[in-house]
Structure 1
């Protein structure tokens, strides 16, 4: 959730972060002493129309073959504070894919006709070998549409904001060739009801297809009410993982696989480590998730789970008391994960779209920079990024359950 809170002596303010943050993992550093970050702003071109809008809940792809480009896709406009001089209403344009050239510092937009909506809050994954980005399902809300944003609803002759929390679930898997910018909108009918804010991981090694396999789990789907909102959906049980290895074919099929072990409580808006971690003996691939939120009970989760495949076993490897949602998990070095951002207060859930801002003086926030590190092998939190750390090993807690090394 790229939102930042600022508080002065009189009142708190909430605003959108306008940057892509770059962390240097080419050397060791400590968050508390010598940590630095680079910020990539959206105003690089001299023509205002040549710069992307500020977006929330979209996707960011690295595109390693296009070594000097980052890609952003989809997203929803920030609607909780329109007093910022840089604020803009939801865009009416057809360009939901942008790239940023890190060498010449320039943005470029692409008109992709294969995506009729600007989706947000879909599950995101990337095949970094072939430069393919994936965006699974997602939603459409008043931050996605100028028409919805400007529409007025009346109840009993009085203007109402009841529709501000309404969402429309979107089916389909968007497959983006980041080298050619060609897109496909692939059917997800065999997956079931569309979902938002779940997990998606691309595995290049699991399965029989040369294309690799997508695995998805968790998130929220429609609860079957006449109108869908941010809070009335049904969370998807983590006892089932859905897989697809035919996403490049004309006929796409998803399969369900039951899981065992320490199955996580249903949740949404958790973070997923983008890449699997492989056992040395190739006996398992391991997928990490952290945190999340249950809007039905306003529960924030502070726990870490590992899904081991092919046994499809969940193992809980950490449990704490500082819940978080809307954050990101990022691979760093050979065996660490950087956890950045997110929200620590249930009152901030969906505020960026509904505009229902709480009393920010009573809102829980991070004391520091909102960056921490987790050792994926030792299962410990810290503030030090060790560039020279040894290679990844499957945690002993997982080995004790599934074996291997």
Structure 2
């Protein structure tokens, strides 16, 4: 049965791609859009890239939706958005900065941003694919940089005339794992761009390493120390952790693997990578290691967000939030979860809050202290059929986070009610400290190899950047137990790719008509979408929140009038007040 489902979705993907290639691209001049819209009409943002540099968060590319007087507008962003981290704000008080980009600068989805802290430059264009909303012309292969101006804008530069040939001659991938640190940018896995090749053969191999100083890109090995897992894949997460090893480390987790060892068409084999094991890369010897984890690991998923913070307890915590595994409707609600993997213990801790508002296609960034800013995400509770409108449906509901923004606090493992520009130093949560008090600085059973144990014996704590760090030696006993388990899920990645491509024959400004006016906040929109979103007793329907309601840490029930519900459930209000 699973093979038949896989084959069906592969055929649908090919058909969707073929249908797009038969039509000539239309002019994008009238279809581009400022990525910042009023909070009162904003619905969803997803598939963008974001990064932090010198006190600003930069958001580039991706797609978004908002309500107009006649329905919902689906659009792609062609401006650079930014958030000032030097000021306190809530998601109702914050005004996103939006600045124009020069002609030719790519507006991509499922891409990434590399950050060069030393030279204060960010890179883009090396990964991503064309937006589905807008039917815009393809963007040329290549590498771009933008240098922030300190006010939220930036100076852009096309680097194609001098860029490494890898960026101009090889197919751009999308959905890969992107990280920055140690003077380099990293790109692992992803899919070959299917815009011009409906028969692409699975995943490109190798870890691409771009050296900011030499301006050279090289491929590093992806051979793992254990044969049971294969580094790479699509829609997982990777993070540069400077706190361990002589050159820092990369930690990769989750996502999906396609095509097996020998490649093959998407849909021939598909599985999600379990979080009971993560992959660690040592840039110094260019070697991958597998390490088993313990504790309450996330269910396998993709398109989640990943961010990390160093604590003053000489630990490093990585947050995994959101994502999905192909389930739609009420089955997707349980993926509204936040987990923390603490290093060097490789122990999973789950945050305790009720699942209500799942999302995928989001990003998150460490924003000072223990704060992690989460940005965007679409709504998988929409129980849609395999149709061209499926891609629109997940953008069609109002985000319960105003402007799609929320703040998670690693110190308390809870959602916060505001962003604080001058937070206290990050102290790991009591649950994490309890683990180390009981086990010492060890995984729950030891490292899976002596080389990995040696790698983690070198610690670089004591500074917030890669320079001037204090190096400690930790060669004491670190012994290990294994919590295993592998979860394979067929056809998930094919389904995800289909949803991305199925929208290709639609215009960006096509609207879904609703029976009532939709300005400033669409009244009656929920009722128009109600038939596509069956409710679950486990997931209270999200009210269409007015502009000034949003509470993250403890959802409260309100009897206040003026809200239109998706069902008869009580109105749930959320705000960063």
Q: TM-score range by the shorter chain?
A: 0.7 to 0.9
Q: TM-score, normalised by structure 2?
A: 0.57
Change (3 A) 1:317 1:122: same
| Corresponding position: 1:6 with 2:66 | yes
Contact 1:329 1:338 in 2 (8 A): yes
Superposed counterparts of 1:147-158, under 5 Å: 147-148=196-197
1:40 aligns with 2:94: no
Q: How does 1:5-404 map to 2 (within 5 A)?
A: 5-33=65-93, 35-43=94-102, 48=103, 51-67=104-120, 69-72=121-124, 73-82=126-135, 87-88=136-137, 90-91=138-139, 93-95=140-142, 97-103=143-149, 105-110=155-160, 111-115=163-167, 116-127=170-181, 130-143=182-195, 147-148=196-197, 168-190=202-224, 192=230, 194-207=232-245, 210-222=246-258, 227-229=265-267, 233-245=270-282, 247-249=283-285, 252-273=286-307, 275-278=308-311, 280-282=312-314, 284-295=315-326, 299=332, 301-319=335-353, 320-345=355-380, 357=390, 360=393, 363-367=396-400, 368-403=402-437
Unaligned stretches of 5+ residues in structure 1: 152-162
Higher helix share: 2
**CA 1:14 to 1:232, structure 2 compared with 1: closer, same or farther past 3 Å?**
farther
Take 2:72 and 2:366, find their aligned partners in 1: how far apart are those partners? 33
* 8 Å CA contact 1:268, 1:293 repeated in 2: yes
For 2:303 and 2:332, the matched residues in 1 are separated by: 12
Gaps of 5+ in 2: 1-46, 48-61, 442-577
CA displacement, residues 177-206 of structure 1 (integer Å, 9 cap, x when unaligned)? 224422112221336263111111112222
**Contact kept in structure 2, 1:293 and 1:324, CA below 8 Å:** yes
> How far apart in 2 are the matches of 1:76 and 1:362?
18
Contact between 1:79 and 1:355, CA under 8 Å: does it hold in 2? no
Tell me how far apart the structure 1 counterparts of residues 201 and 109 of structure 2 sit (CA, whole Å): 15
Q: Residue 5 of structure 1: CA displacement?
A: 1.1
Deviations 1:68-93 (A, max 9, x none): x22113111113432xxxx22x33x4
TM-score by length of 1: 0.80
CA contact 2:322–2:360 (8 Å) conserved in 1: yes
Richer in strand (by share): 1
CA distance in 2, matches of 1:199, 1:215: 8
Identify which of structures 1 and 2 has the higher relative contact order when contacts are C-alpha pairs closer than 8 Å and 6+ apart.
2
Q: Return closer, same or farther for 1:132/1:363 CA change in 2, 3 Å cut-off.
A: same
Distance in 2, matches of 1:17 and 1:117, equals 23
For residues 3 and 40 of structure 1, what CA distance do their matches in structure 2 show?
A: 16
Larger Rg: 2
Q: Distance in 1 between matches of 2:249 and 2:382?
A: 37
- 2:101·2:156 contact (CA, 8 Å) conserved in 1? no
Equivalenced residue count is: 358
